[in-house]
Amino acid sequence: MAKINVVFVEDPKLPRAALKQRLFAEELFNVEEAASVKEAFSKARAMPVDVILLDNLLPDDGGFNVCEKLMNSLTKTRVIVLSAQNDFHAVQEALAEGCVGFLPYNSSFREIKNAIITVYQGGHYLHPSAATELAKGLQDKKKRMEQVSLTDEELQVLRLIADGLSYSEIANQVYISERTVRRRVQSIFDKLGVNSQAHAVAEAMRREFLE
């Protein structure tokens, strides 16, 4: 196998000396360091980069959205994220943003090495704990979707929201207080797993509560 060009992007305030030593010593890898996303771009312009090992809590541009920025600009580069978070939402967001590998901070060097090789060869790599969180989260989400039911009063409010009425207009039309409208809307949000009226309407249409 040809050597894999790797850029390790990490917050300089959180040095991982042992990990860097193992990365630099690994014969399969050519490793460069970067302390920011800006520096990673600079490295990528100076040399072909196969894999970026990315800390998702960088001082200049943290968050999983960095994956999308990198992959949009470096189309032949694969991104593995090293994350302090390892829950369902973190894994789901990282994958949605284009990362092809997900590793928690406490991953062993063997796991990191396997991840780099796997994504270099065109695959995806999830740390076992991340894969477990993703599977559990998707199963829980499916159960919640199957169990959702809205009351007649909630459906009435939801239809009026879809028609573009304000809370006060809904209150006047169905002869309830605006406070009651807000309480019903919050119940709708909770049941549908959304946090805005637009998302509530879209999710209700997807579930065929609305036509």
**Residues 122-167 pLDDT 10s:** 999 999 999 998 898 888 777 766 677 889 999 999 999 999 999 9
Which DSSP letter does residue 104 get? E
How far is the CA of 99 from the CAs of 61, 155, 170, 183, 187, in angstroms? 15, 38, 43, 38, 34
Under the banding of pLDDT at 50, 70 and 90, the label for residue 107 is: very high
Higher local confidence (pLDDT), 67 or 168: 168
Q: List, for residues 5-51, the tens digit of each pLDDT value.
A: 999 988 777 667 778 888 889 999 999 888 888 888 888 888 899 99
pLDDT for residue 209: 85
Would you give the distance in Å from CA 15 to the centre of its chain?
A: 24
- CB of 9 closer than 8 Å to CB of 53: yes
Task: Report the mean per-residue pLDDT for the chain.
Answer: 87
Q: Whole-angstrom Cα distance, residue 41 to residue 157?
A: 49
If pLDDT is split at 50, 70 and 90, which confidence band does 117 have? very high
CA separation, residue 194 to residues 12, 37, 100, 137, 200 (Å): 37, 32, 27, 16, 6
User: Quick one: pLDDT at residue 205?
Assistant: 87
Asked whether residue 62 carries a pLDDT value surpassing 80, the answer given is no
Share of the chain above pLDDT 90, in %: 44
- Note the pTM of the prediction, 2 decimals: 0.67
| pLDDT score at 79 | 93
pLDDT value of residue 14: 67
Q: What is the mean pLDDT of residues 69-93?
A: 87
What is the C-alpha to C-alpha distance for residues 79 and 48, in angstroms, rounded to an integer?
14
pLDDT reported for residue 122 = 95
Per-residue DSSP letter, 153:
H
Alpha-carbon 185 to chain mean position: 27
